[in-house]
A and B are shown apart, each in its own frame.
Chain A
Amino acid sequence: MKINISKIIIFSFVIFCLFVFQKGLKIDNSYDTKSLIGNKISKFQLSEINIHDLYISEEDLKKNKFTLINFFASWCAPCRAEHKYLVKLSSENNEIKIIGINFKDKKDNAINFLKELGNPYNFVGKDLDGKISIVFGVYGIPESIIVNSDLTIIKKIIGPIDQIQYNEILSTIQ
């Protein structure tokens, strides 16, 4: 029996295409940066919003069991919505320190924001041009990152913290 090579090649190619297509359909195409969980944070230096020569760096975070790094701005409406959960977290839990990074904001507006809604942060830093947000893989605010004392990211919350996220934070740090 003569085997037709070209037919075998075409048949194999069709099977290959179907296989790739079927695999492709199963791939999750939604994008976020949660893949950073398990990675260590990079080196950074953050200047305090009020005191120009006061800085913190990743070395300071090693002293905390857990640190929540929250990116916020006074002009960001979802930041306003999540703020009560940060205030609650700071008042009800001593296990976690909260660092606020004020993102592309005016100093006076940020201070008024914290006066109005309360200040849950152990340190408020400024990121005027947004460069620090890139170090943390942030692409929109609000965004929160929880790191442990090894500086490993253990949770990333993209978008505002709500009651569900709040409960998840508590279970993460327990």
Chain B
Amino acid sequence: MKIKFIIIITYILIEASANSSGSRTKLLDIYQNLRCLVCQGQSIADSNSDFATTIKLVVQDQFNEGKDEDEIYKFLTSKYGEWIVYKPIFNKNNFLLWTLPYAVLIFGAFIIFLLIRKTKHNKVN
């Protein structure tokens, strides 16, 4: 009975610690994707400026309210524009940025396929 109790308590503590560590990692991920607008080349995670400190507080609040990463980015981009996020959000202005690498990859694979087929065809002949 005593051993069971200790196991349950240990499990709860490990779970709580893992959750807390997971939340911290998630928050850090969000900070790293946010640009410090008043610093040069620093993310919110790297900066201790007044602006970065305030943004961290706001992100923490929204995270604790249960908002997900996209909702937090949406709120901040509505206030500061898309410049505040390092990873741009997919829209009509940047669709090439997102789709071109995949298009080039598919096109490259198609060219390789054609070349291999041509080589095989030549060998047979």
Interface positions of A (Cβ within 8 A of B): 31, 33, 35-36, 39, 104, 129-131, 133-137, 139-140
Contact = CB atoms under 8 A, between A and B. Distances in A.
Contact of A139 (B38, B53, B57, B78): B38
B57 A137 contact: no
A136 B54 CA distance: 13
Interface in B70-102: 76, 78-81, 83
Given A131-B57, A137-B80, 18 more contacts: A33-B79, A36-B79, A39-B78, A129-B54, A130-B53, A130-B57, A131-B54, A131-B58, A131-B61, A133-B54, A134-B54, A134-B55, A134-B58, A135-B79, A136-B79, A137-B79, A139-B80, A140-B38
Interface string B46-72: 000011011101100100000000000
A130 B76 CA distance: 14
B37 interface: yes
A33 B80 contact: yes
Query: Looking at chain B's contact residues, is the secondary structure mostly helix, strand, loop, or mixed?
Result: helix
Contacts, number: 36
Given A139-B51, A140-B51, A134 B37 contact: no
Q: Indicate the size class of the contact surface on chain B.
A: 10 to 19
Contacts of A131: 54, 57-58, 61
A31 B80 CA distance: 9
Contacts of A139: 37-38, 51, 80
Interface string B32-46: 000001100000000
